[in-house]
Amino acid sequence: MVELKNITKVYETDSLKQVALNKISIKFRNCEFVSILGPSGSGKTTLLNIVGGLDKYTSGDLIINGVSTKKYKDNDWDTYRNHKVGFVFQNYNLISHQSVLSNVELALTLSGVSKDERRKRAIKVLKKVGLSEHMDKRPNQLSGGQMQRVAIARALVNDPDILLADEPTGALDTKTSVQIMKLLTEIARDRLVIMVTHNSELANEYSTRIVKIMDGKIVDDSNEFDDI
């Protein structure tokens, strides 16, 4: 279980202090599909990055499976990001000169997995996202939806507890967006999926929980989790 307790994130420059998140507290279930909605600059992506360990909070606490991260060292965060979290981005972040299979395998190289095992796991997850016939292609030979499926496969190949998706349908047409949302819904059956999106229609149709953020604060939570 992931819990944020009074998380505040402040970005400071010489002349500016910007509060991106203001004392946010929220708990997530181990298996659910959460959509984070809010206008640009509301703190959605900052929240996602803090859950993923890509950004450090200024104050408060991020609790992972009952353990505080306040005393996490850099190697603790590296382990968390490499083994517990998978990331999916709007622009796919694929390596253009590598094959689809190699792009997915690459996510395992930092985990010390053998070459044979990397290939086996990459093939398995590419089949899961419906790309078994495209494994030898390069990203530029794929459609936008197929590239996003590669990105999702890469995020899943380490079998993470949490999948974080930042505007995963932002660059896709309506039909392809629906296909990606259906895939994320299926993935959320056995892990936590948190998605940042501007598309409230898709979020309302496919998510199990909608969290709305405004000015760094949670203003609405459609399926609040309190295990007490």
SS3 of residue 143 by DSSP: coil
pLDDT value at position 129?
A: 95
How do residues 138-192 score in pLDDT, each as one tens digit?
999 999 999 999 999 999 999 999 999 999 999 899 999 999 999 999 999 999 9
**Does residue 28 come out as left (phi exceeding 0), alpha (psi in the -120 to 50 range) or beta?**
beta
Residues listed for the chain: 228
Place of tokens 């039909």: 175
The arithmetic mean of pLDDT across residues 195-212, rounded, is 96
* pLDDT value for 228: 52
pLDDT at 226: 82
pLDDT tens-digit map of 69-122 = 999 999 999 999 988 999 998 889 999 999 999 999 988 887 778 999 999 999
Give the per-residue pLDDT at 35: 98
DSSP code, position 6: E
Q: Would you place residue 128 in the very low, low, confident or very high pLDDT band (cuts 50, 70, 90)?
A: very high
Rounded Cα gap, residues 71 and 171, in angstroms = 38
Say if residue 32's pLDDT is above 90: yes
Q: Strand pairing of 162-166 and 59-64?
A: unpaired
Q: How far apart are CA 140 and CA 75, in angstroms?
A: 35
Largest CA distance in the chain: 53
User: What burial class does residue 66 get, using C-beta atoms within 10 Å of its C-beta: 0-12 exposed, 13-18 middle, 19+ buried?
Assistant: exposed
- Kindly give the pairing relationship between strand 192-196 and strand 209-214: unpaired
**pLDDT tens-digit profile of 45-70?**
999 999 999 999 999 999 999 999 99
Span 22-32, average pLDDT: 97
Distant-in-sequence, close-in-space partners of 228: CB < 8 Å, separation ≥ 6: none
Whole-number percent of the chain with pLDDT over 90: 89
